[in-house]
């Protein structure tokens, strides 16, 4: 194997340009800069080129060229990773491959309830295409306007509807993938049953681009909801929110589409920083729950379900106040309070994120114990837990104490993550629920996934990418 040449190698850039054309190759620093920084601004990488292929054949040629020169490739979709999963390294040796031009919805089949979408389709555009065929593409995340199909699948994103439809991996029937040697695997099969050896597609979902580049997918659709009800509730405690979720699920197990928790602190940031955000209930509270009920059945009377469960909860002191959406505009306004949490927290100042999960029943313990651990570590730190209570995934985020410098707070990131992870481990949880491992957390893998599990992952990586050219520095330590 030859020594790794510098990717500024004119031969390589020229050859890449010959494959993708002028429109497909960015080399000026001003043009490549947006691809080198992650959404959280944790990493400022450098790259000699951003390659933007127009189709799978071009992408395969690009990967073949880069692999031939032993030049690492960093696939990038909407660049919304929370763990630096799509950011190149600082050494300026990694070529970024943007999927943005591969943005066609190839087909929607309302009979088979499937769609075929290319990697660069923004998730919301895929949702809209499904809706136009009177179907639902279920997964919903805060960044869906920007995040793309390929990135969502590569990261195995979760989001707000996991409790009902599962994570990204549960929506994938088939994939097309460019392998590290430039071969194209056409696995775009739209089959509900296909028991033919190892389930290859699931290897690439959640691999964060370390095993190959997803170029297109067959996605499973669901029946479109005929009734949707949304309420925002002020609740006295996390335990009350948890019990409220349980009651909704007991009342109508098929109706709960999302159940989200928000601490008062995070809601305060949204109200302060997000234009147009306003609280639809009288008094600010220390804890909130957002419930969405939905059904594809006509005449299911979800409004009655919502009111029945909430009235009993109000009587029992589980709910202090509630606002029920009376229109689509109100439904969106309530969801905005939840969806803007990440943006509002960014505007408030420096934060340390812990995207963790525990068994659903242990969420109150997680929030109580992790809050105590962080406050003991850094007096004055502001705990901002929020997220997907219904599936056990809480974003246990910490905001810098008032009056602290951002840098001084961020210097404590490692200690904070360790303190939270110690609680998560005690409760039988995971150190990364839905954001993945990326560049931020490979160091945690040996402690959490070491031994046979990490060993098998390393061997899979070595088998598919013996040159280590696919998104190196991500996932595996």
- For ligand 2HG, give the closer residue by CB, 252 or 355: 355
Q: How far is the CB of 157 from ligand 2HG (least distance, A)?
A: 8
- For ligand 2HG, give the closer residue by CB, 260 or 465: 260
Binding mask 274-303 for ligand 2HG (x = CB under 6 A): ------------------------------
- Specify which residues 177 forms β-bridges with: 185, 214
Q: How far is the CB of 389 from ligand 2HG (least distance, A)?
A: 11
Q: How far is the CB of 2 from ligand 2HG (least distance, A)?
A: 42
Binding flag, residue 341, ligand 2HG (CB under 6 A): yes
What residues contact 316, with CB distance under 8 A and at least 6 apart?
none
- Reading the block at residue 418, the tokens are 């360790």
- Nearest-CB residue for ligand 2HG: 342
Element containing residue 419 per DSSP (H, E): helix 413-426
Q: How far is the CB of 338 from ligand 2HG (least distance, A)?
A: 7
Binding flag, residue 395, ligand 2HG (CB under 6 A): yes
Query: Rounded to whole angstroms, what are the CA distances from 42 to 78, 333, 352, 431?
Result: 16, 30, 11, 18
- Spell out the long-range contacts of 370-374 with Cβ–Cβ below 8 A and sequence spacing 24 or more: 370/396, 370/419, 370/420, 370/423, 370/424, 373/419, 373/420, 373/422, 373/423, 374/398, 374/416, 374/419, 374/420
Pairing of strands 95-98, 50-51: parallel
Query: Rounded to whole angstroms, what are the CA distances from 233 to 135, 192, 195, 227, 242?
Result: 29, 39, 45, 20, 12
Residues in 170-209 that interact with ligand 2HG by CB under 6 A = none
Binding flag, residue 42, ligand 2HG (CB under 6 A): no
Q: Please tell me the distance from the alpha carbon of residue 173 to that of residue 193, in angstroms, as a whole number.
A: 9
Of 4, 55, 142, 249, which lies in the binding site for ligand 2HG, with binding defined by CB under 6 A? 142
Binding mask 59-78 for ligand 2HG (x = CB under 6 A): --------------------
Binding flag, residue 168, ligand 2HG (CB under 6 A): no
First to last CA, the chain: 23
Tell which residue, 165, 128, 136, 297, has the closest CA to residue 226: 297
- For ligand 2HG, give the closer residue by CB, 102 or 374: 374
- For ligand 2HG, give the closer residue by CB, 89 or 400: 400
Element containing residue 417 per DSSP (H, E): helix 413-426
Q: Please tell me the distance from the alpha carbon of residue 22 to that of residue 16, in angstroms, as a whole number.
A: 10
- For ligand 2HG, give the closer residue by CB, 52 or 353: 353
Binding flag, residue 383, ligand 2HG (CB under 6 A): no
Q: Do 67 and 116 meet the contact criterion of CB atoms below 8 Å apart?
A: no
Q: How far is the CB of 387 from ligand 2HG (least distance, A)?
A: 5
Residues contacting ligand 2HG: total by CB under 6 A: 8
- For ligand 2HG, give the closer residue by CB, 276 or 299: 276
Of 213, 310, 342, 344, which lies in the binding site for ligand 2HG, with binding defined by CB under 6 A? 342
Tell which residue, 216, 156, 213, has the closest CA to residue 190: 216
- Reading the block at residue 416, the tokens are 């904070």
- For ligand 2HG, give the closer residue by CB, 210 or 397: 397
Tell which residue, 394, 421, 427, has the closest CA to residue 245: 394
Binding flag, residue 397, ligand 2HG (CB under 6 A): yes
Binding flag, residue 353, ligand 2HG (CB under 6 A): yes
Q: How far is the CB of 225 from ligand 2HG (least distance, A)?
A: 21
| Secondary-structure percent of the chain, ordered helix, strand, coil, rounded to 5 | 40, 20, 40
Binding flag, residue 79, ligand 2HG (CB under 6 A): no
Binding flag, residue 138, ligand 2HG (CB under 6 A): no
Of 387, 390, 429, 436, which lies in the binding site for ligand 2HG, with binding defined by CB under 6 A? 387
Which residues contact ligand 2HG by CB under 6 A?
Answer: 142, 341-342, 353, 355, 387, 395, 397
């Amino acid at each position: 194997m030859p020594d790794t040449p510098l990717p500024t190698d004119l031969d390589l850039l020229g050859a890449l340009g010959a494959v993708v054309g002028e429109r497909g190759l960015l080399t000026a620093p001003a043009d490549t800069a947006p691809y080198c920084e992650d959404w959280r601004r944790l990493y400022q990488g450098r790259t000699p080129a951003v390659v933007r292929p127009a189709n799978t054949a071009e992408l395969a040629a690009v990967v073949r060229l880069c692999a031939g020169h032993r030049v690492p490739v960093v696939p990038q979709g909407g660049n919304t990773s929370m763990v630096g999963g799509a950011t190149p390294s600082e050494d300026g040796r990694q070529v970024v491959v943007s999927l943005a031009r591969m943005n066609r919805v190839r087909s929607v089949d309302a009979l088979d309830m499937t769609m075929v979408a290319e990697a660069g389709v923004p998730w919301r555009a895929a949702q809209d295409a499904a809706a136009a065929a009177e179907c639902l593409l279920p997964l919903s995340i805060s960044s869906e306007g920007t995040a793309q199909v390929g990135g969502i699948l590569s990261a195995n994103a979760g989001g707000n509807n996991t409790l009902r439809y599962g994570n990204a991996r549960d929506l994938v029937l088939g994939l097309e993938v460019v392998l590290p040697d430039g071969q194209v695997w056409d696995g775009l099969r739209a089959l509900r049953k296909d028991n033919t050896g190892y389930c290859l597609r699931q290897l690439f979902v959640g691999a964060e681009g370390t095993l190959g580049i997803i170029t297109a997918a067959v996605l499973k659709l669901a029946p479109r909801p005929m009734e949707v009800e949304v309420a925002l509730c002020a609740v006295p405690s996390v335990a009350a929110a948890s019990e409220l979720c349980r009651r909704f699920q007991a009342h109508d197990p098929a109706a709960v589409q999302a159940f989200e928790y928000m601490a008062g602190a995070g809601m305060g940031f949204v109200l302060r920083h997000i234009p147009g955000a306003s609280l639809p209930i009288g008094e600010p509270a220390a804890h909130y729950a957002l419930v969405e009920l939905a059904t594809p059945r006509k005449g299911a009377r979800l409004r009655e379900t919502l009111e029945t469960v909430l009235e009993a909860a109000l009587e029992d002191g589980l709910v202090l106040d509630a606002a029920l959406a009376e229109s689509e505009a109100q439904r969106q306004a309530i969801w905005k309070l939840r969806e803007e949490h990440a943006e509002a927290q960014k505007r408030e100042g420096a934060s340390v994120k812990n995207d963790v999960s525990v068994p659903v029943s242990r969420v109150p313990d997680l929030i109580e114990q992790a809050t105590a651990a962080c406050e003991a570590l850094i007096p004055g730190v502001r705990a901002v837990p929020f997220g997907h209570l219904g599936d056990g995934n809480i974003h246990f985020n910490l905001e810098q104490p008032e009056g602290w410098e951002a840098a001084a707070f961020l210097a404590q990131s490692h200690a904070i993550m360790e303190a939270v992870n110690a609680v998560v481990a005690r409760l039988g949880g995971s150190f990364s629920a839905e954001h993945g491992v990326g560049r931020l957390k490979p160091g945690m893998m040996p402690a959490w996934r070491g031994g046979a599990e990490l060993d098998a992952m390393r061997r899979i990586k070595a088998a598919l990418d013996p040159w280590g050219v696919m998104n190196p520095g991500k996932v595996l330590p």
